[in-house]
A and B are shown apart, each in its own frame.
Chain A
Amino acid sequence: MIRFLRRSSSRNLFFGFLNQNLRYSESPVAVRFSGRQTEHHSRLLWPTCRFESTEAARHVDQLYLPNHDDQELDFPGGKVPFTNEMRFIAESTQKRVPCYRVLHENGNTLTSNNFTQLRKDVAIKMYKDMITLQTMDTIFYEAQRQGRISFYLTSSGEEAIAIASAAALLPDDVVLAQYREPGVLLWRGFTLQEFANQCFGNKDDHGKGRQMPIHYGSNHHNYFTISSPLGTQLPQAVGIAYSLKMDRKDACAVAYFGDGTTSEGDFHAALNLAAVLGAPVVFICRNNGWAISTSVQEQFRSDGVVVKGQGYGIRSIRIDGNDALAVYSAVRRARSMAVAEQMPILIEALTYRVGHHSTSDDSSKYRAIDEIEYWKMERNPVDRFAKWLYSNRWLSQEDESNHKTTVKKQLLQAIRNAEKTKKPPVSELFNDVYDHLPKNLEEQEEILRQTMKRYPQDYPSDVPL
């Protein structure tokens, strides 16, 4: 008993007390040892350390290791073989995990069969959406620079991941994005006007003007509303996936995040929980090399993100995130496996954040211009996909320039409309905190309205009363 208490956590110490004083019906051993592998562990290993060379130790050894010739340790969770070699597992593999790709930079496919063939119409929509996304980024970025919206954040350099992964998913797959994946929403049909409404926080914004620009969300498109804290969406994705599993839906949850997020506790919580509960989640990490100014060398050791999957018992793959065909194929396969086998899958997509982190950032202060140029020019995901489309004769220069012109016009119109549209009324400040307005908020709304009447000049004129 003393031995156990010394080895156990503070919580078990507490339960020990409870058992003695408050419990009568349960056997203390059964209670203490249920479901906690670490406790079994301490029971097995500790006696030999404490009672070395004593009669008690021999007795205990015989108790737990009945056959000294036995080649395996019968441990909770499965038998473990013995070895007489004292070998530490290396901190990292000797060779880095290779990166799956389908398309060469010149636009030719490298393999004839190890990828999912894309239908022409899907391929063309993918490309057009990539162009739309780029155009939207350019125009919204400029709008922020002109002071028309407060903040913006581009997807530059990462267009293929969002668009190609979205194309590979089914509409019922539930998306929990971070903030650099508006491409997924675009693919699913969120309109340019809807994007603009959110960035301007007007009355037609689904989020009722309550969050900073780029925090999109759409129930209609199975795309949960973005929140700024990193990684919080990941354990939530496991809960969503568990619900899909219980409802026997042909759908999975898809969670996007960056390399920086893999340092957050929620990332580890989510991977472990998903593996243990057999939750159909596809975790897609956009490893773009930089978390604001923190490079991956300062973020983690070993071989990046993909190797973490196995530690949690999750099937994982590293892919070229700038290769739309590789992204499409891998995500397609991942979601099929996740749904068919009811398990999580981890995808690490290598890419590069060509733009600044956001409009509040100047990345030239912490990274080499050459590095940015290399990724922009030589590893450009949109150019590479275009070359492939051209080589298939699925796209013409004319189509492309027509599309760019149309989208630009639509975007400028969307911004003009969004700007002209009124803000949500003041009542929306108080709604939706709870399902119903509680008394304290009723009271505060009343007081605020009286103050507004006395000092109208203190309040923005475009917010209706």
Chain B
Amino acid sequence: MASVLRRSQTVLNSLCRRQFSASPDGNLTTHGGKSMNLYSAINQALHIALETDPRAYVFGEDVGFGGVFRCTTGLADRYGKDRVFNTPLCEQGIVGFGIGLAAMGNRAIAEIQFADYIYPAFDQIVNEAAKFRYRSGNQFNCGGLTIRAPYGAVGHGGHYHSQSPEAFFCHVPGIKVVIPRSPYQAKGLLLSCIRDQNPVVFFEPKWLYRLAVEEVPEDDFMLPLSVAEVIREGSDITLVGWGAQLSVMEQACIDAEKEGISCELIDLRTLIPWDKETVEASVKKTGRLLISHEAPVTGGFGAEISASIVERCFLRLEAPVSRVCGLDTPFPLVFEPFYMPTKNKILDAIKATVKY
């Protein structure tokens, strides 16, 4: 136990060193409003969703008392146990139930406790939610469904509390996949997902739940889906990522700048349907592309971006597209620092691509 504690403490320290920001100058972005962390921003979005739509429901494993990551704190007390409730431990049941609820004109906000546990619900998402509108000729739809799930590395999660399964879902026409990078983004994007007329899988970077802090307006606001955001302008190379990986990529951009390399950093935000035009415009400007994600490199969504951009920008590319991603292994516990697409791996790839 003691050793476990020590290890966790070490990890926590390393987490704290992982500075977060998402602005061009590397400082915390200011949007006005209260300074809050990512889980509080999610919580605020859920409060607003329930407040503004009496047909909105929040449900999943342990959401009643506030959820294991505290994202649903205070919701059941405020909106009642009929609208915010625990379900049995059954992911396929949660998503299937959510589809039915959404199909009756409700906003069904389902929580899967960890993205690692979403697989029992894969059939409901892929064969049911994604095809519900299409197969019925638009007689029925479950557009009110939003599936929230914490994803990604956290320093000590091992195989089953660390995975980034986004690529599986990016292969499925009919759903949207959205991943926020910060508290402000999380609130605005989640509200858009909840109110979108299509089923959405919303992966939340659990590494940032407590660590990422920024100013978030208290009011009800939405950020557009399928619109990428250039969060750092540059001229030598384009970097594309999403979620928690952006803060790592940003550190690499800062270090590269010290060596005279100007990096443009793009947050894709919505993975499908994705904003090809923004990435294309950037790569046409810089002539180089690097994609980074935590998920294993083979078959990752980086491959799709790479292929699409090569199709569109072949003659403008000065170097092969670079991918700095997770390794093709299961997500390992003690080897996590080796597995991860770290800042220095990215920095090396930036330099190699620029010098190619």
Contact = CB atoms under 8 A, between A and B. Distances in A.
Interface stretch (A137-145, A185-193, A225-233): A225-233
Given A232-B127, A240-B104, A225 B140 contact: yes
Interface in B58-103: 62, 64-65, 68, 82, 85-88, 90, 92-93, 95-103
Nearest to B274: A440
B124 A239 contact: no
B156 to A, nearest CB: 6
B298 interface: no
Given A35-B65, A239-B98, A242-B97, A276 B139 contact: no
A302 interface: no
Contacts of A10: 160-161
A219 B140 contact: yes
Interface stretch (B130-138, B185-193, B254-262, B313-321): B130-138
A381 interface: no
Given A2-B1, A35-B64, A270 B137 contact: no
A210 B11 CA distance: 51
Nearest to A239: B100
B157 A235 contact: no
A17 B156 contact: yes
Interface extent on A, as a size class?
A: 35 or more
B103 A236 contact: yes
B87 A217 contact: no
A5 B106 CA distance: 39
Contact of A227 (B100, B135, B173): B135
B21 interface: no
Given A210-B137, A229-B127, A244-B104, A238 B96 contact: yes
Interface string A421-442: 0000000000111110011110
A424 to B, nearest CB: 8
Contacts of A246: 82
A439 B275 CA distance: 8
Interface in B160-217: 160-161, 173-174, 176, 197-198, 210
B258 to A, nearest CB: 33
A239 B143 CA distance: 14
Interface in A172-229: 174, 205-208, 210-211, 215, 217-219, 224-225, 227, 229
B273 A210 contact: no
A115 B5 CA distance: 66
Interface stretch (A18-26, A153-161, A395-403): A18-26
Given A236-B100, A239-B103, A440-B273, A433 B65 contact: no
Nearest to B124: A232
Given A10-B160, A206-B139, A234 B128 contact: no
B9 interface: yes
Nearest to A9: B89
Given A235-B97, A239-B100, A273-B87, A435 B198 contact: yes
Among A35, A174, A239, A269, the most chain B Cβ lie within 10 Å of the Cβ of: A239
Contact of A229 (B12, B123, B156, B226): B123
A301 interface: no
A236 B92 CA distance: 10
B275 to A, nearest CB: 8
Contacts of B117: 11
B18 to A, nearest CB: 14
A33 to B, nearest CB: 11
Given A35-B64, A239-B97, A11 B82 contact: no
Nearest to A208: B137
B141 interface: yes
A209 to B, nearest CB: 8
Contact of B92 (A15, A205, A235): A235
B278 to A, nearest CB: 11
Contacts of A374: none
Contacts of A133: none
B137 A243 contact: no
B39 to A, nearest CB: 10
A269 B90 contact: yes
A439 B82 CA distance: 39
B8 A435 contact: no
B273 A211 contact: no
A61 interface: no
A34 interface: yes
Contacts of A431: 138
Given A10-B161, A205-B137, A433-B134, 6 more contacts: A218-B139, A239-B101, A243-B105, A433-B174, A438-B273, A441-B273
Interface of A: 1-2, 5, 10-11, 14-15, 17-18, 20-22, 31, 34-36, 174, 205-208, 210-211, 215, 217-219, 224-225, 227, 229, 232, 234-244, 246, 253, 265-266, 269-270, 272-273, 276-277, 431-435, 438-441
26 contacts: A35-B64, A207-B136, A207-B137, A207-B139, A210-B137, A211-B135, A217-B136, A217-B140, A225-B140, A232-B127, A232-B128, A235-B97, A235-B99, A235-B100, A237-B100, A239-B98, A239-B99, A239-B104, A239-B108, A243-B101, A246-B82, A266-B96, A269-B93, A432-B138, A439-B226, A440-B273
